[in-house]
Amino acid sequence: MGIRTPLIFCIALALLPSPVKGEEGRAPVDTARTARGAKSPKLAAFMSLVLPGAGQAYAGGGRSARFFLFSEGALWSWNIGFRLLARARDNTFQGFAAAHAGVRPEGKGARYFDDVASYKSIYIRNSAARYLDGPNADLLPETPENSWEWDSEASMRRFQKLRSASTSARRDALLCVGGLVLNRFAGAIHAASLARSRSLSALLVPDLRGGWAFAVSGAF
């Protein structure tokens, strides 16, 4: 019959949840006795989703646990750092606009500062809106609260660079959030794989020729 049929039969017996007797009534014998030390891949994955590195520590992977935990801490540190940097740069470009264009930044959103960066004054901005959209133009009220007028083209270009730097810091903070998500999913997959490898056991099972053969089983 060749070696393939006994091998397939042995693997099938090893994956059964309860002992299966062979043709002569002999049950498989667990030679590894790994039931007490078996690790659950699902639990390891869940633990790493909650706290990267925890699933690896549970599965016995100390080095990889430290790696994923360190990565989590570093990404959180970078995220907080970039957010603080973005806030500081916000204050910088807003203060610059107040000094060189008369902007009153309190309560203003990103769209307002987009206009400040694009037009030399509120009057030019509203004129452009009327030209492009006619009667349906979205005009800003030309009040002291909304008004601005740059003192020079150089100041306007400087403001654009300062605001771009703030946007860049905020984008980097967002990338760190993506890294945190990736670190958790990668850690969960790795922890499950590590737990699965630690849960493998060797079995002696009867083959079709009346002898015994080794098979490997595990929690999948």
Residue 202 pLDDT level (bands cut at 50, 70, 90): very low
Nearest C-alpha neighbor of 196 from the set 5, 41, 20, 19 = 41
Q: CB of 160 within 8 A of CB of 117?
A: yes
Helix axes 110-118, 122-133, angle to 10 degrees: 90
Residues 216 and 163 reside in one and the same domain = no
Most confident of 19-23, 156-160, 196-200, 208-212: 156-160
Residue 102 makes CB contacts below 8 A (sequence gap 6+) with 147, 148, 149
Residues 49 and 89 reside in one and the same domain = yes
Residues 25 and 47 reside in one and the same domain = no
pLDDT of residue 182: 97
Residues 19 and 103 reside in one and the same domain = no
Residues 33 and 47 reside in one and the same domain = no
Residues 82 and 125 reside in one and the same domain = yes
Q: pTM here?
A: 0.68
Residues 88 and 61 reside in one and the same domain = yes
Q: To 10 degrees, the CA torsion angle through 137, 138, 141, 145? A: -150
Q: What is the mean pLDDT of residues 43-56?
A: 95
Residues 113 and 179 reside in one and the same domain = yes
Domain count, the chain: 2
Residues 118 and 155 reside in one and the same domain = yes
Report the mean per-residue pLDDT for the chain. Answer: 82
pLDDT digits (tens, 9 = 90+) for 82-129: 999 999 999 999 999 999 999 999 999 999 999 999 999 999 999 999
Amino acid at 80: I
The three state secondary structure string of 128-192 is HHHHHHHHHCCCCCCCCCCCCECCCHHHHHHHHHHHHHHHHHHHHHHHHHHHHHHHHHHHHHHHH
pLDDT digits (tens, 9 = 90+) for 52-84: 999 999 999 999 999 999 999 999 999 999 999
Residue 34 has pLDDT above 70, yes or no: no
Percentage of the chain exceeding pLDDT 90:
69
d(CA 6, CA 216): 14
Residues 183 and 90 reside in one and the same domain = yes
Residue 25 has pLDDT above 50, yes or no: no
Residues 56 and 29 reside in one and the same domain = no
Residue 39 pLDDT level (bands cut at 50, 70, 90): confident
Residues 28 and 47 reside in one and the same domain = no
> Which residues span the domain enclosing 14?
1-38+201-220
